[in-house]
């Protein structure tokens, strides 16, 4: 399940076993005893990429009122993307 990392390359996510006696970590998801930690830089880049590609699909504009906004599914779809779903 572990992958070999290139020098100076951090994975997007790591999983650390919560068992204090057997502290292990994985790059791939482990069982329920593993806690997921996310690389902050990767997370921010993933969010920015999705927003650049999709933000226009979630906006509305009312010409008669001069109002605009985001449709309700924007946050839910964004959350699903960030979770990898």
How much is the mean pLDDT over the chain?
75
Asked whether the CA dihedral 5, 11, 17, 21 is positive or negative, the reply is positive
User: What pLDDT is recorded for position 1?
Assistant: 42
Query: What domain count does the chain have?
Result: 2
Mean pLDDT computed over 4-25: 63
Q: Is the pTM of this model over 0.85?
A: no
Q: Are residues 34 and 68 in the same domain?
A: no
Let me know: does 58 contact 71? Beta carbons within 8 Å. yes
Q: Are residues 25 and 56 in the same domain?
A: no
Q: Which residue is associated with the tokens 């970590």?
A: 25
Distance of CA 63 to the CA centre of its chain: 35
User: What pLDDT is recorded for position 32?
Assistant: 65
Summarised one tens digit per residue, pLDDT across range 34-50 is 777 777 888 888 889 99
CA–CA separation, 45 and 58 (whole Å) = 20
The two structure tokens encoding residue 45: 């880049």
Query: Between 79 and 28, where is the model more confident?
Result: 79
Q: Are residues 33 and 48 in the same domain?
A: no
DSSP 22-35: G--EESS---TTEE
| pLDDT grade for 53, boundaries at 50, 70 and 90 | very high
**Domain range for residue 9?**
1-38
pLDDT at 77 over 60: yes
Q: Are residues 14 and 50 in the same domain?
A: no
The two structure tokens encoding residue 85: 């779903």
């Amino acid at each position: 399940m572990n992958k070999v990392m290139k020098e100076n390359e951090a994975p997007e996510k790591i999983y650390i076993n919560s068992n204090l006696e057997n502290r292990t970590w994985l790059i791939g998801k482990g069982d329920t005893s593993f806690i997921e930690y996310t690389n902050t830089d990767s997370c921010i880049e993933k969010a920015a990429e999705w927003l650049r590609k999709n933000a226009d699909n979630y906006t509305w504009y009312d010409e008669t009122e001069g109002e605009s906004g985001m449709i309700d599914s924007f946050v839910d779809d964004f959350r699903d993307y960030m979770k990898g779903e």
